[in-house]
Amino acid sequence: MVVDDHHLFSAGLASLLKHSSLFGIIKTYADPQAAWKELQKQPYDLLFIDMMIPGHNMDIFATHCQKSFPGLKIAVISSFSDPEMVKKMFVTGVQGYLTKDADFAELRKAITALQQGQRYSSPAVDKILAKQLLTQAVSSLTPKEQEIVKLIAAINTVDEIAARLHMSPHTVITHRRNIIRKLKLRSSADIVRWAYENNMTEK
């Protein structure tokens, strides 16, 4: 089932699914209330919903569907990819999230993952969520800690960092300990890897 108030999109998606022989019964609805009534009449394997339908709280709709039809797999296909909204939808219990520019190969991959009981999010969504996590991680560090991360990544010793920043080695060790705790790492080697993975090195 497809619930989306953009008729051309929902009709196109339904046609794509029908011709792919992935599903038998495929119905489209612009009104979530009408879709709800249909779901009560017969079981469906997969429900695609848009996240933004005027006049409706789709997170509440998804929650009700999840609770009332435990076997139903729910995936969002939306042009909206705000990280907070994406996380909110996953909290409701949806198993998938794709952007509307996804191609058929990605759609098939998502369907396969959901049918196997796995969660799926498109690469574009993963990139947005990863960027937000990085922003949150960096903002949790003080300016001094960010500077020390870069110096550790440049393979400076504790004494070298202390001399460069005009502080005691003990203070550097304390900062390093706080960095490891905030970034949920284990060692200085982890700091080096994290810095390079997230472009937090000296220019």
Residue 117 contacts residue 109 (beta carbons within 8 Å): no
Q: Where are the alpha helices (DSSP H) in 46-122?
A: 58-68, 83-92, 104-115
Q: pLDDT grade, residue 40 (50/70/90)?
A: very high
Q: Which CATH architecture has domain 141-197?
A: Orthogonal Bundle (1.10)
CA atoms of 71 and 89, how far apart (whole Å): 18
- pLDDT tens for each residue of 59-76: 999 999 999 998 899 999
pTM of the predicted model as reported, rounded to 2 decimal places:
0.67
Is 94 within 8 Å of 62 (Cβ atoms)? yes
Per-residue pLDDT tens digits for 21-30:
667 778 999 9
Strand order in the sheet with 2-3: 28-29, 2-3, 46-49, 73-78, 96-99, 120-121
Mean pLDDT for 94-102 is 89
Nearest to residue 148, comparing CAs of 135, 157, 140, 136? Answer: 157
**Best mean pLDDT range from 30-39, 122-131, 191-200:** 30-39
- C-alpha distances in Å from residue 90, one per residue of 8, 58, 159: 26, 12, 46
Asked: is 2-122 a CATH 3.40.50.300 domain? The reply is no
- Delimit the domains of the chain by residue range: 2-122, 141-197
